[in-house]
Amino acid sequence: MELLKQQVSSVAGRRLMEIYETLFQHFGPQHWWPGETPFEIVVGAILTQNTAWKNVEKAINNLKKANLLTPQALYALPYTYLTQLIRPAGFFNVKAKRLKHFLHFLFEEYKGDLEKMFADDTDSLRKKLLEVPGIGPETADSILLYAGNKPSFVVDAYTRRILFRHNLIPEEADYEEVRNFFMDHLPEDVQLFNEYHALLIALGKNYCRPKPLCENCPLKGI
């Protein structure tokens, strides 16, 4: 951590590190992403779009129990059967399509091999993922960071709300601007990006709600 801090020169960077350390001391390590394999993480990243994680777990468990949580098995699985298995995660019709789109991409470009996919450099893989229908910026960055261990900062609704409330970004900042804010000011470190995003969610879930619970917020006063 001290080594990381030495790499931070800007005022914004020091502010981000201060927030990070405060959150880490308060919440502790988050052990993200909950998933046993890179492929499970990719599937989870698509299923969790605008959906509570608890519901995603049910869908993933259905796939696990059926021994279908591999690229080969899901690629071969009939669409209608897939929709039934992922039903608890909601939006099952669109998400089944999105999973199929990703699998098509994975098999066309990398013969179904996630390791080959992640052997691509981060920026060009990010561009390719964003061209897959159903994979937007947050899903792409989650896949890169949590499944591929690549340094791509993940931004979500909590992240923006928290940064806006702490006057670090304007309210109208778009996804890329918020992501660049982190990536321009923080050292490019996978573990830091991983933990930071997870800690922001912890803060968002517990304090930085649409109706803020600022009284006992760990960031109060810093």
Which residues are near DNA by CB under 7 A?
A: 32-34, 44-45, 48-55, 58, 87-88, 90-95, 132-140, 142, 146, 156-158, 175, 201, 204-205, 209-210
C-beta closer to DNA: residue 13 or 95: 95
Per the CB < 8 A criterion, the answer to whether 110 and 116 are in contact is yes
User: Which uninterrupted H or E stretch holds 66?
Assistant: none
CB nearer to DNA: pick between 20 and 32: 32
Residue whose CB is less far from DNA, 24 or 158: 158
Cα separation of 193 and 182, whole Å? Answer: 9
Neighbour tally for 193: CB within 10 Å:
24
Q: How far is the CB of 49 from DNA (least distance, A)?
A: 3
> Minimum distance between the CB of residue 140 and DNA, rounded to whole angstroms?
6
Rounded to whole angstroms, the Cα distance separating 214 from 204 reads 11
Nearer CB in complex with DNA: 13/77 = 77
Provide the minimum distance between the beta carbon of 203 and DNA in the complex, in angstroms, as a whole number.
11
CB of 136 to DNA, least distance (A): 2
Q: Which C-beta is closer to DNA: that of 76 or that of 157? A: 157
Least CB distance from residue 46 to DNA, whole Å? 8
CA distance 108 to 123: 19
Is 146 within 8 Å of 33 (Cβ atoms)? yes
Of 30, 24, 97, 85, residue with least CA distance to 58 = 85
Q: Is residue 39 within 8 Å of residue 110, measured between CB atoms?
A: no
